[in-house]
Amino acid sequence: MTEALRYGVIGTGMMGTEHINNLLHLDGATVTAISDPVAESRDWAQLAVGLDAPLTRFADHRELLASGLCDAVVIASPNHTHHDVLLDVLATSHHVMVEKPLCTTVADCRAVVAAADQTAERWPDRVVWMGLEYRYMPPTQEVLREVRGGTVGKVRMVAIREHRFPFLPKVGNWNRFTRNTGGTLVEKCCHFFDLMNLIIATPPVRVMASGAQDVNHLDEVYDGEVPDILDNAYVMVEYDGGVRAMLDLCMFADASRNEQEITVVGDAGKVEALVTEGIVRAGRRADGIGRVTERPVHDPAIRHEGLHHGASYLEHVAFAEAVRRGAPPAVTLHDGLMAVAIGEAAHRSIDEQRPVLLEEVLA
């Protein structure tokens, strides 16, 4: 494919508009169509591409899919719509990137994975990409390079801290309720469970979690309902081979210098990333106590920083390259399924106050 890739964006709230802003900086890409049932969101998309720019606007994603205007689509609609929208997309030849989480339940994730597999023979060159852009944050990529390069030796422990501000307002306040999001540990933390899976590279086996809604959104009421989303949790994940990973989540920690910190420790050393500051530290046990290197990390290829330190732009570069080369996706729907499975197991662990085996949620 030598002509510009024509993109359609399904769902043009905050994240859909973020994708549009990234695509506008991508060589050989043009946003030709968008769909959203909310007129105001369609206006946001038009504003992003330019008030005078040509853009075909639909209220229904099925009209976009039938229009013939797009080669690839990005699904950025609310979490609870992903299952139905993705099934509609997978019934077409469109390349697709679906925002996290893949779906709000493991059952729905399994259904869309099966649909992708069933239609792959009909469109063997179609790229179906799971949008997990945190993999592409430059400090995180550098941690992965250090781990793959042997700096830490055999990985034994992974710790991820996200201390941040509360959930932002979304259209219709859909993200205030677990039934729409899958729960905080699915909606927000699937990113981090995916990073754990990527770093450790063996199957997760057991999840133990403690969490609650202690501070945020308790004074909000929508249609007579108070939001029910967790705002803090500790989640420990045990992996095949004995590696342990830990998530420390707090969503009322606005006064944090680094929103995310990632630490990987092995039998030979340690590497850590301060994601917001863009700093990576690494040290080896053989070099002695306190001998640690520290360096700033930035990718000069980033043309748009956006909401995720340039990660969404880099992910779109990788997706477009896969489409043009007919290559398989670097991030698969199965990756999305496993990240949701850990989140679902963590919520079950909190609700039932017990460790939960992954085989229980994957059964």
Label residues 96-125 b or e (16+ Cβ within 10 Å = b). bbbbbbbbbbbebbbebbebbeebeeeeee
**Are 5-133+312-331 and 135-303+339-362 in the same CATH fold?**
no
Beta pairing partners, 235 = 209, 247
Closest by alpha carbon to 108, among 76, 90, 82?
82
Cα separation, 211 vs 189, whole angstroms: 13
What is the torsional sign of CA 15, 17, 23, 25? negative
Q: At what angle do helices 333-352 and 190-200 cross, to 10 degrees?
A: 110
Beta pairing partners, 129 = 97
Q: Which residues of the chain have pLDDT under 50?
A: 1
**Domain boundaries, given as residue ranges, for the chain:** 5-133+312-331, 135-303+339-362
Cβ-proximal residues to 65 (8 Å cutoff; 6+ apart), any chain = 8, 73, 88, 89, 92, 94
pLDDT at 56: 98
Closest by alpha carbon to 139, among 248, 44, 262?
262
pLDDT at 290: 84
Q: 135-303+339-362 has which fold?
A: Dihydrodipicolinate Reductase; domain 2 (3.30.360)
Cβ-proximal residues to 243 (8 Å cutoff; 6+ apart), any chain = 155, 156, 157, 158, 200, 202
Cα separation, 259 vs 162, whole angstroms: 5
pLDDT at 2: 52
Task: Tell me what percent of the chain is helix, strand and coil, each rounded to the nearest 5.
Answer: 40, 25, 35
Q: 5-133+312-331 has which fold?
A: Rossmann fold (3.40.50)
Cα separation, 260 vs 80, whole angstroms: 26
